[in-house]
Amino acid sequence: MNNTYTEEDLRNAVGFKNQSPQGDLLAIRIKEVPDGYEKVSSAEAKAPDGTIVAHSETGHHHVMLDAPGVCVLENPDCAGRFVVSVAPEATGLLVHRRTQHKHAPKLFSPGVYELRRQREFVMQSARRVTD
């Protein structure tokens, strides 16, 4: 386990194998880093202790904590698209920065993961089917 995480960070952390949601964010294990991704350099994506991978209008962001062997990459041509690479023998930790009613932290084992914003489709209105 990585020694850069606090006991509080790890207390409720949940591991996963292939995919796992954290609120409106979905982490999916993929085979390799896709073409076009670069290490995050955007100042607006940085938090004091990691990288903001999903912004919230209320300031309750999803943050991948900084740790040795954990690299957050983004596609400069597709804003908001992130990939996390976790080196062998490293562990990543995704936290939800909110004081109450927050989502459980997610433990990332070695591998590569795509982070997607989940979407919800809501029917705006009903109409009759026409020929």
Residue 41 is classified by DSSP as -
pTM reported for the whole predicted model: 0.82
Query: Which pLDDT score, from 0 to 100, does residue 78 have?
Result: 82
Nearest to 84 by CA among 16, 130, 131, 7: 16
- The letter for the amino acid at 66 is D
Q: What is the mean pLDDT of residues 97-109?
A: 81
Q: What is the mean pLDDT of residues 56-67?
A: 82
Query: Which pLDDT score, from 0 to 100, does residue 44 have?
Result: 67
pLDDT tens-digit series, residues 7-17: 877 888 999 99
d(CA 41, CA 11): 30
Q: How confident is the model at residue 31 (pLDDT cuts 50, 70, 90)?
A: very high
Nearest to 119 by CA among 76, 80, 70: 80
d(CA 92, CA 1): 9
